[in-house]
Amino acid sequence: MKTVPALRAYAITWAALLALLALTFALAHLRLGAFNAVASLVIAAVKAALVALFFMHLRRGRALLVLFALVAPFALAILFALSGADYITREVHPAPWAAPHGR
Partner 1 sequence: MSAAPREIDAGARGELDPRAWRAETASLGMWVFLATELMFFGGLFLAYLYLRTHDPEGVAAASVHTHEWLGTINTAILLTSSFAMALAVHAAKQARRKAAQRLLVVTAAFGLAFLAVKGIEYGLEWRDGLVPGLHFTLAQNTRTATLFFFLYFVATGIHAVHLAIGVLTVLWIAWRLRAAALPDWRVDEIDVLGLYWHFVDAIWIFLYPLFYLVNLNA
Partner 2 sequence: MSYLEEGFTLRSWLTTRDHKRIGILYAVAITVFFFLGGAAAAIIRLELLTPQGDLVSADTYNKLFTIHGVVMVWFFLIPSIPSTLGNFLLPMMIGAREVAFPRLNIVSWYIYVLGATFTVGAVIAGGVDTGWTFYTPLSTLFSNTHVVAAVMGVFIVGFSSILTGLNFIVTVHRMRAPGMTWFRMPLFVWANYATSLILVLATPVLAMTLLLLAAERLLHVGIFDPALGGDPLLFQHLFWFYSHPAVYIMVLPAMGVVSEIITCFARKRIFGYKFMCYAILGIAGFGFLVWGHHMFVSGQSAYAGMVFSMLSFMVAVPSAIKVFNWTATLYKGSIELTAPMLYALGFVGLFTIGGMTGLYLAAIALDVHLTDTYFVIAHFHYIMVGGSVMAYLGGIHFWWPKITGRLYSEAWGRVAAITIFAGFNLTFFPQYLLGFLGMPRRYHSYPPEFQLLNVLSSAGAAVLAVGYLLPLVYLGWSLFLGKRAPPNPWQARGLEWKTASPPPKENFHETPEVDAVPYAYDPEEKLA
Shortest distance (Å) from residue 96 CB to partner 2: 15
Shortest distance (Å) from residue 75 CB to partner 2: 5
Instruction: Please give the Cα distance from 4 to 45 (Å, whole number).
Output: 27
Q: Which does 54 bind (CB under 5 to 8 A by kind): partner 2, partner 1, none?
A: partner 1
Burial of 58 (0-12, 13-18, 19+ CB in 10 A): middle
Q: Which is nearer to partner 1, 2 or 96 (CB)?
A: 2
Instruction: Please give the Cα distance from 53 to 69 (Å, whole number).
Output: 10
Is 41 within 8 Å of 20 (Cβ atoms)? no
Q: Which does 85 bind (CB under 5 to 8 A by kind): partner 1, partner 2, none?
A: partner 2
Helix axes 34-50, 3-28, angle to 10 degrees: 170
Q: Which does 78 bind (CB under 5 to 8 A by kind): partner 1, partner 2, none?
A: partner 2
Q: Which is nearer to partner 2, 4 or 72 (CB)?
A: 72
Interaction site with partner 2 (CB under 8 A): 64, 71-72, 75, 78-79, 82-83, 85-87, 89-91, 102
Instruction: Please give the Cα distance from 56 to 64 (Å, whole number).
Output: 15
